[in-house]
Chain A
Amino acid sequence: MVFSSVNFLFAFLPALLVCYFAVPRRCRAIRNGVLLIFSLAFYACGGPKLLGLMLASIVVNYCGGRLSAPGKKCRKTCMVLTVVVNLGLLGYYKYANFFMENLFLLGLPVAIPNITLPIGVSFFTFQGMSYALDVYRGNAEAEKNPFRVALYIALFPQLVAGPIVRYTTVAGEIADRRESLSESGSGAVRFCQGLAKKMLLANALGQIADAAFGAGTLLTTSMAWLGAMAYTGQIYFDFSGYSDMAIGLGRVFGFHFLENFNYPYVSRSATEFWRRWHISLSTWFRDYVYIPLGGNRCGRRRQVRNILTVWLLTGMWHGAAWNFILWGLYYGLLLLGEKFLWGGILEKAPGVLRHLYALLLIVLGWTLFRSESLAGVGAMVAALFGSAPAGLWSGETLYYLSEFRWELLLAIPASLPVGVWVRGALERRERGGSRPASAALILGPRVLALGLFGLSVLSLLGSSFNPFIYFRF
């Protein structure tokens, strides 16, 4: 089930709200039970046959946590076993097809299995693993109540497309939290903003990107640029929209998930971009892979190895395909370059140039990410640099520019911290005693949220298919 579906908005969510808030606040365990049942049902809607995998992940990580806790015998072995089982499940469901396909292409007589990728497997596997690892390290206490671990791993807002929530972030709130009117209000505003990002911007920009990446022999240089930039917008509004919805829903039910995005397109380097983009994933790799490998407190050669390892894994995490691996390594090399080669020069360059530098690299990166094959990557990159099969310009570019002009224009302020700036300005006026500023601060976001919700529902009814990009990871 996706948040941007009629079933979710007008069946699942109202039913959950009724069942959840009908239980008195003091009956926390029952409220958690309701949330767990609905979360499992949420996942099962994508195919009950895959629910077993989720339950297996819960059991493995619950047992792994219990057995890896400080003071337990053979706890290291248990932790290693837990990690191996988690990676084994991920490897089987996500990478077996890719691995066998490549062996087959090498001429080996192997059968290519037909394994269905369970939605969100990368997210809940990483989340489960982080719990076991945190318990092993002593950063979290081993949870005795299996239902709490189950709720942590299966909690529906972030279950299938993140953010990857650490157990330490929500452990206290699972046991005891306060749902409040104010939190529900701000959660609802955040949810509506996320839904609008997805329905009004990501889906529209996706149409341009689909046209460009599927243009084949009709691809022009102008269309390649427009498509690459549109995809840059699409993936941001799609994924950050989902994160907004997850964070907003979390607040309604009393949870506070950490931010997953911090206006990544204002970055002035690739390094900064990854501090602002999919923060929960990059910090996961930092804490569980990069630092254990030695991080940057080692010689230059080992640092290079560590960075390339992390980025190879980051690429592979996103998908079992060569273009994702290429994309991961692309960022690995960029970060190495900025760290050891041109970082100093970049620091001294004017801000505008640094922004342009970062944006260009980001757009190119998404081109690698979006292309469906290495051949596609080659064709798209060649087109971007002037070698397009249909020349430089086409009417198609003009059509998409004109047809989606509002969405393209709106995408610019929507990807910048304009809201933060406006809020800051209003707060300054409010402090000066301005009543209109005070009213605008209170009413503005709420009225806007209602309007966006209405427009999103209109768009939802008019569109039949709108999957989230990050569902497949």
Chain B
Amino acid sequence: MKKIADIALLLCLAAVLFAVPALTLVKTAHNTVSYYENRSLTEQPELTAENFWSGEYFNDWDAWYADHVPGRTTLLALGTAIQMDIMGKTVVNDVIVTQDVLLPFLRYGTWDTGIYTDKAVPIADGLQCLSDYVEGYGGTFLFVGLPEQSNYFWDKYPHELDNRRWNATAADAAFYGALEERDVPYLDMGAVYDREGRPDEYYSSVDHHFTYYGAFAAYQAVMDELNRTGINAPVLSKSDLNFRELPNPYLGSRNRKLYDLWPNSEHAVIAEPKSPIPFTRTDNGQTVEATVYVLPATNTQRTNYDLYMGGDQAETVIETNRPDLPDVLIVGDSFTDALETLFYASFDEMRSLDLRYYTEKTLPEYLADYHPDVVLCVRDDTAFYTATGNGAVWN
């Protein structure tokens, strides 16, 4: 029996040891990206005298091999399931798994939050230049600050984990303080949401963005603010819209890191005006289908936040051909996507730029060409101090 057991053990181990390289060799097409990890997979290393001599070449092969092991995604999902469901870990793949929400794990740390006062200066100076320029040609500027999901749900962090509330509070205060000092008009959506009782339904439990309800609340607050300054634009109310919850499962960036294994019943919501507003849409200079949602083909396919406007675009222009209404330019990251599906209804022309991808002109050049009546700069509070992309409005 011992002999049979030894043979069985060695055969099992040999099967694994030989199957992995054999399957890797016969696999003709290797993925280039890891969907769930949201990253590019390691490319085959190039041999150079330097990397060979130092041993880096062999290390690089190890990294490539580890990324291209057959069935890797399934194995990683299995590992995630074991950690989450069997071992009951709170933090899995850097995501905090709580009863009702997924949050990012923020490593314990401490630093002097006084640094934000200095760090805010160049960003606020840029926004001041932008604001002055827009007001200079008679337009209206508004900076819209949104809490990111982890800051919105700060009180949902398990008590033993650091939610870095101490950091976010100081960072937001320093940032808005700098805007105030420079008379840059801004809307702190965190405060608006607080006044509304910070409803859970405003932010996703599985994604770092808000839900459509949170976006709608932000849209209304921004429009109210704009109309207070004299922009006479129609504002959609809830009764003007048909809200629809999609039947598709909603993945979200946080659950994506968990290989979609966290059970949740969240679904994406969209809304269409009850009185349709005809429009044309152009993305990056190309006319595209006149829609603000990219919906999956079937009801069972997973959806993501990028269903709103089809995800991030360098430049999108929506024309509604209502010349009596003002024009708007929205600058920002992915948080603008859900907002854009609403803002277009209140303006004649809605332009949106994502400066991470838009490189044709600088923002001042763009403004000089179009002179939009309203310029909205939308940022989430984890990106306030990012000085590149949409944080570099006046470079």
Report which A residues bind B (CB closer than 8 A): 1, 5-7, 9-11, 13-14, 17, 44-49, 181-182, 184-185, 188-189, 192, 211, 215, 217-218, 394-396, 398-399, 402-403, 406, 438-439, 442-443, 446, 449-450, 453, 455, 457-462, 464
Contacts and interface: CB of A to CB of B under 8 A. Distances in A.
Closest 4 CB pairs of A and B: A185-B6, A47-B55, A395-B160, A398-B160
Nearest to B7: A181
A449 B9 contact: yes
Nearest to A116: B54
Nearest to A47: B55
Contact of B9 (A211, A396, A450): A450
A86 B259 CA distance: 53
A406 B86 CA distance: 10
A402 B62 contact: no
A7 B76 contact: no
Nearest to B12: A450
B62 A7 contact: yes
Nearest to A460: B66
A46 B55 contact: yes
Nearest to A43: B55
Nearest to B73: A461
B2 A442 contact: yes
Contacts of A453: 13, 16
Contact of A458 (B1, B62, B79): B79
A44 B55 CA distance: 7
B89 A188 contact: no
A48 to B, nearest CB: 6
B368 interface: no
A211 B162 CA distance: 14
Contacts of B69: 6, 10, 461
Contacts, number: 125
A48 B48 CA distance: 13
Given A14-B18, A398-B160, A439-B1, A47 B54 contact: yes
A442 B5 contact: yes
Given A47-B54, A406-B87, A185 B75 contact: no
Contacts of A10: 17, 20-21, 24, 65, 69
Nearest to B108: A396
24 contacts: A1-B58, A1-B62, A14-B14, A14-B17, A14-B18, A49-B53, A49-B55, A181-B10, A184-B6, A185-B2, A394-B108, A395-B161, A395-B162, A399-B91, A399-B158, A399-B160, A406-B87, A457-B16, A457-B75, A458-B75, A458-B82, A460-B66, A461-B72, A464-B66
A396 B1 contact: no
A189 B9 contact: yes
B316 to A, nearest CB: 37
A403 B13 contact: no
B62 A395 contact: no
A5 B6 contact: no
Nearest to A119: B55
Contacts of B290: none
Interface string B37-59: 00000000000000011110010
A17 B17 contact: yes
Nearest to B62: A7
A195 B182 CA distance: 60
Contacts of A46: 55, 58
Query: A interface, by DSSP: helix, strand, loop or mixed?
Result: helix
B323 to A, nearest CB: 57
A7 B65 contact: yes
A187 to B, nearest CB: 10
Interface in B1-37: 1-3, 5-10, 12-14, 16-18, 20-21, 24
B78 interface: yes
A459 B61 contact: no
A188 B10 contact: yes
Given A6-B66, A45-B55, A185-B10, A13 B5 contact: no
Instruction: Name, among B9, B12, B18, B89, the residue most crowded by chain A CB atoms within 10 Å (CB to CB).
Output: B9
B53 A6 contact: no
A211 B108 contact: yes
Contact of A6 (B62, B91, B160): B62
B90 interface: yes
A461 B80 CA distance: 11
Given A10-B17, A10-B20, A10-B21, 10 more contacts: A5-B62, A14-B21, A48-B53, A182-B2, A192-B13, A395-B162, A398-B160, A438-B1, A443-B5, A453-B16
Contacts of A446: 5-6, 8-9
A10 B76 CA distance: 17
B272 to A, nearest CB: 43
B189 to A, nearest CB: 29
Nearest to B79: A458
Contacts of B87: 406
B109 interface: yes
Contacts of B65: 6-7, 10-11
Contacts of B20: 9-10
Contacts of B7: 181
Given A10-B65, A14-B17, A185 B5 contact: yes
A458 B18 CA distance: 17
Contacts of A399: 90-91, 158, 160-161
Contacts of A7: 58, 61-62, 65
Nearest to A394: B108
A442 B69 CA distance: 32
Nearest to B52: A48
A399 B162 CA distance: 10
Contacts of B14: 14, 17
B239 interface: no
B17 A9 contact: yes
Interface string B127-138: 000000000000
Contacts of B109: 218
Nearest to A390: B110
B228 interface: no
B227 to A, nearest CB: 45
A109 B298 CA distance: 75
B195 interface: no
B3 A182 contact: yes
Contacts of A192: 13
Contact of A182 (B6, B24, B62, B75): B6
B375 to A, nearest CB: 42
Interface in B132-177: 158-162
Contacts of B72: 461
